Amino acid sequence: MEFCDECGSMMKTENGSWICNSCGYEKERDENDEEQMVTTSGQEETEVVDLSEAEDQGRPKTTAQCPECDNDEAYWYMQQIRAADESETRFFVCTECEHKWREDDH
């Protein structure tokens, strides 16, 4: 990928030259420079792991007393539920019964 020296837009290749679609700037292609460019072709693919069905869904655990079943362990996460200038709210999910509550719910 090459960017235009004049306007900064992405350039395309055409007949051995780099051409800017935005301003029309043109420059010759240089094989030595292009060898240094990194492309996605030939890179190894990585496995995508779906955690949506995982028990903890990637959330950390903490010690917290569940108000429903008295279990003493829960997953927790932070979520913005008010305006951006307000602090986030911490939510807990019981590891046993999956009851959900907020930190300030007592």
- The reported pLDDT for the residue numbered 11 is 86
The two tokens of residue 28 are 């010759």
Residue 28 marked in a binding site: no
**Rounded distance between C-alpha atoms, residue 68 and residue 101, angstroms:** 10
Token pair of 27, please? 């420059």
Catalytic site includes residue 85: yes
Q: Is 29 annotated as a binding residue?
A: no
Is 103 annotated in a binding site? The answer is: no
* Averaged pLDDT, groups of 10, the chain, 106 residues long: 84 86 86 70 67 65 92 90 84 92 74
* Catalytic-role residue among 72, 86, 88, 105: 86
Partners of residue 49 on adjacent β-strands: none
How many Å apart are CA 43 and CA 29, to the nearest integer?
Answer: 24
Tally of domains within the chain: 2
Which domain covers residue 80, as residue numbers?
A: 61-102
- Supply the pTM of this predicted model: 0.46
CATH number at residue 98: 2.20.25.10
Residue 80 forms part of a structural domain: yes
35 part of the active site: no
CB burial string 63-73: b at 16+ within 10 A, e below: ebebeeeeeee
What is the pLDDT, as a whole number, of residue 92? Answer: 92
What pLDDT does residue 40 have? 64
pLDDT for 60 equals 87
